[in-house]
Structure 1
Amino acid sequence: NSTDDGINASLPAADKVDDDGDNDQEQEPADGAGAAPVDADVNISGGTVVVNADADGIDTNGNAVFTGGTIIVNGPVAGGNRAIDFDGKLLLNGANVTTGSAAEKFQTPSTESTSGHLKIVNNAALTQGKTVQVADSSGEVVANYKITKSGVQLVLVSNKNIVKGQDYKVYVASGDVDIDSTDVANGATELGSFTAA
């Protein structure tokens, strides 16, 4: 739990170098577009990471690379902050990633990611206490995310079972839902079909 960034990765200014190996503290990123000098990365390859943040959930001045494990970011819901903030690239390469946050400053994961992702935006339906369920074409749920904060506008979901270009139905369920459930909960409301990017 954090009233600031949940996880923050940044090298001291003297250690930052550009892609040519030269010290470069003046170059600034273009809103997370990857123009920053080489900096500290966040690499997560296993385990379970749960972040509850009022500012950025995971903030790296380099790349964020998620290859395994489970990563859950609850928040932020205040404008100007992001669930995952990066100056390089966000690579979703097999980890189970779910975030619930404000939508204003969302940064798109890299197209080089091996896993697909779904960006689910629905201000009215994404209410605190409900669970977002993502089901594949066979009806099997491949991801669940329980919304723990009021004011969530956007849910990001990615894992190895979400394939780029495939369509998925998204549901919102009330009541208790097992986070590992592969069944759509009774009474769940369908939000529509979303294509993984």
Structure 2
Amino acid sequence: MDAEGSYKGLKAGGALVVASGNYELNTADDALHANDTVAINGGTITAATGDDGIHGDNSVTINEGTVTISQSYEGIEASEIYFKGGDVNVTATDDGINAGGGSDTESTGQFGADSFAGGGPGGGDQADDSKFIEVSGGVIQVSAEGDGVDSNGNITMTRGTLLVNGPVSGGNGALDYNGTFVQSGGTLMAAGTSDMASNISDSSSQTAVDIYFNNNQSAGTLVTLTDSSGKLVAGFVPAKDFANLVISTPDLTQNEALTLAVGGTASQVADNGLVATDSTVEGASTLGTLTLTSVVSNVDQGGNAVSASSMGMGGPR
């Protein structure tokens, strides 16, 4: 393979806009690539790639349409990433969604590193405010062996649905950000390993809980939270093994006793694992009672508060 040749799918030296149509892409390099911005306003895109699913040096914006990245190194990568609508499903062997970038492959890559606005690929622990992810609509599913959703700067979520099936081994987390993750709306479920787990930021206005399980839970295990009347408040069926689960929905409230249970079946489970709150649940095993005393809580499966020191490297970052 000629390393100086182009093996990308749809590419643009400036802006790339997809307005409509059906696209099936199987590429060695980025499936969609722009040296400036990528905007998806409609259509159906199915991509399998040896590198990035979608890369924009400056930004990637998904307004509408259906995007399925069935195979990639990193799924969606840019300095600024906006989810405003549409249906997005990303599978990646490294990071699923990455604001800030890194090398194209595990070393330097046969195609070299991509460019990024604001100084190129970032890293380390220092927050870069020029790198961010905004979720204000749409349904986003991520399955990643690296970080599920990773920002070298900040993440905000106001509406929409973000479902993350993160890594099953250490070194990465379902959520990873160097600045803040501020959530004021929408539905977030982020499952993964516990040793690098992160909750959303304390400055969020929507209630969230990060649950550390005593043992690894198998892929396909139903997790539910029900209130004192038995009403289902939240439910999710992760597609991969997990030991940690972050839940944030508009139905979660502070100072209410919630029963945490695993296993069993629910009557209404979407293909993405999200459980409808009017579902009937049967055969679940109760693990404990959680009382969320603050907007953002970190607890073990028995409802006891945990911290970074008590969980080793697995505490909230």
Range into which the TM-score falls when normalised by the shorter chain: 0.7 to 0.9
Partner of 1:126: 217
Report how far residue 54 of structure 1 moved. Answer: 0.5
Matched, 1:189 2:281: no
Q: Which amino acid aligns with 1:42?
A: I
- The structure 2 residue matched to 1:116, chosen from 188, 207, 212, is 207
Q: How does 1:1-197 map to 2 (within 5 A)?
A: 1-10=91-100, 15=118, 29=125, 35-124=126-215, 126-150=217-241, 152-175=242-265, 177-178=267-268, 179-183=275-279, 185-196=281-292, 197=297
Aligned CA RMSD, in angstroms, stands at: 2.4
2:168 is paired with a residue whose SS is: coil
- Greater Rg by CA: 2
Number of residue pairs the alignment of both structures matches? 183
9 and 26 in structure 1: CA distance in 2 versus 1, 3 angstrom threshold: closer
Aligned AA for 2:97? I
CA gap of 1:85–1:177, structure 2 versus 1, over 3 A, is: farther
Q: In terms of mean alpha carbon deviation, does 118-127 or 39-48 score higher?
A: 118-127
Residue 166 of structure 1: CA displacement?
3.0
Whole-Å separation in 1 of the counterparts to 2:147 and 2:153: 15
TM-score, normalising length: structure 1: 0.83
**Structure 1 residues 63, 165: closer, same or farther in 2, change over 3 A?**
farther
Higher strand content, 1 or 2: 2
Give the SS at the match of 1:160: coil
| Counterpart Cα distance in 1 of 2:288 and 2:170 | 26
Amino acid at match of 1:142: V
Instruction: Give the TM-score, by structure 2 length.
Output: 0.53
Taking CA–CA contacts closer than 8 Å with sequence separation of 6 or more, which of the two structures ends up with the larger relative contact order? 1
**What is the DSSP-based 3-state SS (H/G/I as helix, E as strand, rest coil) of the residue aligned with 2:276?**
coil
Q: Indicate conservation of the 8 Å contact 2:122/2:152, yes or no.
A: no
Unaligned runs of 5+ in 1: 17-24, 30-34
Distance 1:124 1:27, change over 3 A: closer
Give the secondary structure class of the aligned counterpart of 2:195.
coil
Query: In 1, distance between residues paired with 2:173 and 2:258?
Result: 24
Structure 2: 5+ residue stretches without partners:
1-90, 102-114, 269-274, 298-317
Change beyond 3 A, Cα 1:163–1:77: same
- For 2:212 and 2:169, the matched residues in 1 are separated by 16
Is the 1:41–1:62 contact (alpha carbons within 8 Å) kept by the matching residues of 2? yes
Greater CA drift, 81-90 or 158-167: 158-167
**Distance of aligned partners of 1:172 and 1:27 in 2 relative to their CA distance in 1, 3 Å threshold:** closer
1:14 deviation in Å? 6.7
Displacement of 1:27 in angstroms is 10
Q: In structure 2, what is the Cα distance between the partners aligned to 1:183 and 1:135? A: 11
Indicate if the aligned counterparts of 1:83 and 1:101 stay in contact, CA closer than 8 A.
Answer: yes
Instruction: Answer whether contact 1:71 1:98 (CA < 8 A) is retained.
Output: yes
Identity of counterpart residues, as a percentage?
Answer: 30
